[in-house]
Amino acid sequence: VSAASLERGYRRLLACYPERFRAEQADEMLAVLMEGACRDHRPGDRRGAGAAGLAEAGPDRDGRGRRVMFTVHSWFPYPLQLLTTSVYLLEVAALTVSPGPRHGRHLLNWGHGVTMLLAAGAVQASTLWDDSKTGIARILVHDHKLRSTSWSSASRWRWSQWRRPWRCG
């Protein structure tokens, strides 16, 4: 991994911090990350021995929670881990309480679940690779109002669809 690509990776990751924090600390954090990577580099290493991995450089507002909940996807930035984990938990909970095929309809179905997982994956991937300032992924990550409003609207809509009287035929 070249220094330039490592720096690009770190910059992408730092984009996930809140704007105020980023404005204040991003350049300095980048310097620390790069210094760690360069000082501990050993010939033949694919990466500096002390170079922080992308996950290690990420926001760590609640280290314990992050380590427990996000081990599997530890290379994703923290806000997206939080978002996608919420999606997964919602999906699992909804599928669990679904009335099942006997009742002829579902609160959620597998198609919906797969769509949601693909959407979450796309958001994660685009955030990792999107450098533009107005990227949709960045808006999704940082605009908490938009995120929570869209989620609650979608949930309310799905719930109202499910609760509507159902007629056979």
Q: Which residues bind other proteins (CB under 8 A)?
A: 21, 24-25, 27-36, 39, 52, 56-61, 63
Whichever of 20 and 103 has its CB closer to other proteins, that residue is 20
Whichever of 69 and 90 has its CB closer to other proteins, that residue is 69
Whichever of 8 and 61 has its CB closer to other proteins, that residue is 61
Q: Give me the least distance between CB of 75 and other proteins, in Å please.
A: 13
Phi, psi angles (nearest 5°) of residue 98: -60, 140
CA distances, 86 to each of 52, 83, 108, 116, 117 (Å): 27, 5, 16, 11, 11
Whichever of 34 and 117 has its CB closer to other proteins, that residue is 34
Q: Give me the least distance between CB of 31 and other proteins, in Å please.
A: 4
Q: Give me the least distance between CB of 29 and other proteins, in Å please.
A: 5
- The three-point CA angle 138-144-149 to 5° equals 115
Q: Give me the least distance between CB of 52 and other proteins, in Å please.
A: 6
Q: Give me the least distance between CB of 126 and other proteins, in Å please.
A: 22
CB 70 within 8 A of CB 88: no
Q: In the chain, which ranges are continuous DSSP H helix?
A: 3-14, 19-39, 54-57, 63-69, 78-97, 110-129, 136-142, 144-163
- CB-based contacts of 15: which residues, under 8 Å, 6+ apart? 22, 127, 131, 138
Whichever of 51 and 120 has its CB closer to other proteins, that residue is 51
- CB-based contacts of 32: which residues, under 8 Å, 6+ apart? none
